[in-house]
Amino acid sequence: MIYLDNAATSFPKPEPVYQALDKFARTSLANPGRAGHRMAVAAERTLDDTRHALNQFFRGESPDRWIFTLNCTDGLNLAIKGTVKPGDHVITSDLEHNSISRPLRALEKAGVITLTRLASDDGYLDPEAVRKALTPKTALVALTHASNVLGTVQPIEAIAPIVREAGALFLVDAAQSAGVIAIDLRATPIDFLAFPGHKSLYGPTGTGALYVGPRANPRPWREGGTGGDSSSETQPTLFPYILEGGTPNVLGVAGLAAGIAWVANRGVEEIRRHEVALLQRVVDWAEGTEGWRITGRWNPATHVGALSLVVPEALTPQDLGSILDTSFEIAVRPGLHCAPYIHRALGTFPDGTLRVSPGPFTTDEEITTFLNALTEITAGVL
Ligand SMILES: Cc1ncc(COP(=O)(O)O)c(C=O)c1O
């Protein structure tokens, strides 16, 4: 299989990740507990060490501000639902994944918040539009760092100070950027950073993290055992335990730690450049082939490794995805990519586009095979 669906989840994982998962599962897979037996303490240490690694990687305030989550959606929901109060105003955009759009729209429909959804221009948000949308009631600005449909990277370094100045909290969805774009939490005033562990940080599925900056104090939405402070009648107020009820995915976190180390060693920009260079070939092919076009302004300097193609009218993205899978053993992602608002804005709703997302292990030869397959399929219908 030629796997070009890394924007959904990365595959394969780097070899050290498989090794870490195997070793941890065989030797240390106890229930973490600060006051427990040595295996429990060792498991707890894996969580602590990984919080340190995350804090160093993203230059956060301190390791205890990193909350392990089930995925990116889990962290985004925690940040959104733990923060907003009745009467608050929230700003978001048409680039968002449903993991931001749906919780916000549900809160809006329930009459809890008012919502402004900013329109992007050719895949990019304008920081000045954020400034204009802010009101004294704006409690939260929730934006994606990189569009999972278009791969375009948003100017969060310019947006963050505008949000901070207005006294609102800034939530960044780094699902498509964590591990491929450097994020410096000391240089950029971000209050919440949510991302999955299973995409460009190469952990297994079931992993993710939410960074909670010092100005944010979300209400816990999952209360329960925390591996310590058992006598307390309510959730301990200490970070990170206040936001982490129940047995964590410590096996997944062990894999995630190996993934972060691999990325740090390989270099974030090096990985991004490899993926974007492969996409450049797809862009050149689409621009030179009748019936095809790309969506979103193409700029290799502000792009991650995901690109959406508008397919010829005689085909649907679903047809193409299925032919690529069954006849060519190539995995891509057709459809709306859980981001309906941007497809409506682009005029690609409801069929969507064909998204291609190479990873660090994708080769030039695989892209050649993919482009030859597209050429062959389209030759039959045009
Ligand atoms: C931009 C964006 N946000 C959020 C998510 C949700 O991530 P998860 O599936 O880990 O919850 C995704 C997943 O594709 C995404 O691309």
pLDDT, tens digit only, all 382 positions of the chain = 999 999 999 999 999 999 999 999 999 999 998 778 999 999 999 999 999 999 999 999 999 999 999 999 999 999 999 999 999 999 999 999 999 999 999 999 999 999 999 999 999 999 999 999 999 999 999 999 999 999 999 999 999 999 999 999 999 999 999 999 999 999 999 999 999 999 999 999 999 999 999 999 999 988 888 877 888 888 989 999 999 999 999 999 999 999 999 999 999 999 999 999 999 999 999 999 999 999 999 999 999 999 999 999 999 999 999 999 999 999 999 999 999 999 999 999 999 999 999 999 999 999 999 999 999 998 877 6
Mark whether 24 and 66 lie in a shared domain.
Answer: yes
Q: Which of 203, 234, 266 is the last residue of a domain?
A: 266
What does the pLDDT read at residue 380?
A: 77
Determine the distance separating the centroid of ligand 1 and the alpha carbon of 175, expressed in angstroms.
5
Mark whether 38 and 136 lie in a shared domain.
Answer: yes
Residue 341 maps to a domain? yes
| Domain, as residue range, for 325 | 268-379
> How far is C-alpha 206 from the chain's CA centre?
13
Distance CA 38, CA 56 (A): 26
What does the pLDDT read at residue 167?
A: 98
Residue closest to 306 by CA, chosen among 329, 337, 327: 337
Residue 244 CB less than 6 A away from ligand 1? no
Residue 189 maps to a domain? yes
Residue 4 maps to a domain? no
Mark whether 127 and 273 lie in a shared domain.
Answer: no
Distance CA 99, CA 195 (A): 11
Contact between 311 and 320 under an 8 Å Cβ cutoff? The reply is: yes
State the CATH number of the domain containing residue 204: 3.40.640.10
Which residue owns the Cα nearest ligand 1 atom 14? 8
Determine the distance separating the centroid of ligand 1 and the alpha carbon of 294, expressed in angstroms.
22
Determine the distance separating the centroid of ligand 1 and the alpha carbon of 96, expressed in angstroms.
10
What does the pLDDT read at residue 381?
A: 76
Distance CA 359, CA 6 (A): 6
Q: In which residue are the tokens 């991004």 written? A: 272
Mark whether 132 and 234 lie in a shared domain.
Answer: yes
Residue 8 maps to a domain? no
Mark whether 158 and 283 lie in a shared domain.
Answer: no
Nearest atom of ligand 1 to the alpha carbon of 9: 14
Residue 326 maps to a domain? yes
Q: In what order do the strands lie in the sheet with 333-335?
A: 293-294, 307-310, 353-356, 333-335
Mark whether 234 and 366 lie in a shared domain.
Answer: no
What does the pLDDT read at residue 22?
A: 98
Determine the distance separating the centroid of ligand 1 and the alpha carbon of 33, expressed in angstroms.
30
Residue 196 CB less than 6 A away from ligand 1? yes
Determine the distance separating the centroid of ligand 1 and the alpha carbon of 32, expressed in angstroms.
27
Residue 156 CB less than 6 A away from ligand 1? no
Contact between 286 and 309 under an 8 Å Cβ cutoff? The reply is: yes
Residue closest to 90 by CA, chosen among 143, 50, 44: 143
Residue closest to 114 by CA, chosen among 94, 144, 128, 135: 135
Residue 355 CB less than 6 A away from ligand 1? no
Mark whether 363 and 342 lie in a shared domain.
Answer: yes
Mark whether 225 and 275 lie in a shared domain.
Answer: no
Determine the distance separating the centroid of ligand 1 and the alpha carbon of 144, expressed in angstroms.
10
Residue 7 maps to a domain? no
Mark whether 163 and 244 lie in a shared domain.
Answer: yes
Mark whether 282 and 142 lie in a shared domain.
Answer: no
Mark whether 81 and 187 lie in a shared domain.
Answer: yes
Q: Which of 215, 234, 266 is the last residue of a domain?
A: 266
What does the pLDDT read at residue 312?
A: 93
Q: What are phi and psi of 90, to 5 degrees?
A: -130, 140
What does the pLDDT read at residue 317?
A: 97
Residue 109 maps to a domain? yes
Residue 142 CB less than 6 A away from ligand 1? no
Residue 73 CB less than 6 A away from ligand 1? yes
What does the pLDDT read at residue 34?
A: 73
What does the pLDDT read at residue 16?
A: 98
State the CATH number of the domain containing residue 357: 3.90.1150.10
Residue 99 CB less than 6 A away from ligand 1? yes
What does the pLDDT read at residue 227?
A: 78
Which residue owns the Cα nearest ligand 1 atom 13? 8
Determine the distance separating the centroid of ligand 1 and the alpha carbon of 26, expressed in angstroms.
30
CA dihedral defined by 201, 356, 97, 11, rounded to 10 degrees? -30
Residue 53 CB less than 6 A away from ligand 1? no
Residue 72 CB less than 6 A away from ligand 1? yes
Name the burial class of residue 128, with classes exposed (0-12), middle (13-18) and buried (19+) by CB atoms within 10 angstroms of its CB: exposed
Contact between 179 and 200 under an 8 Å Cβ cutoff? The reply is: yes
Counting the structural domains of the chain, the total is 2
Residue 10 CB less than 6 A away from ligand 1? no
Residue 300 maps to a domain? yes
Nearest atom of ligand 1 to the alpha carbon of 73: 11
Q: Which of 216, 245, 266 is the last residue of a domain?
A: 266
Mark whether 234 and 351 lie in a shared domain.
Answer: no
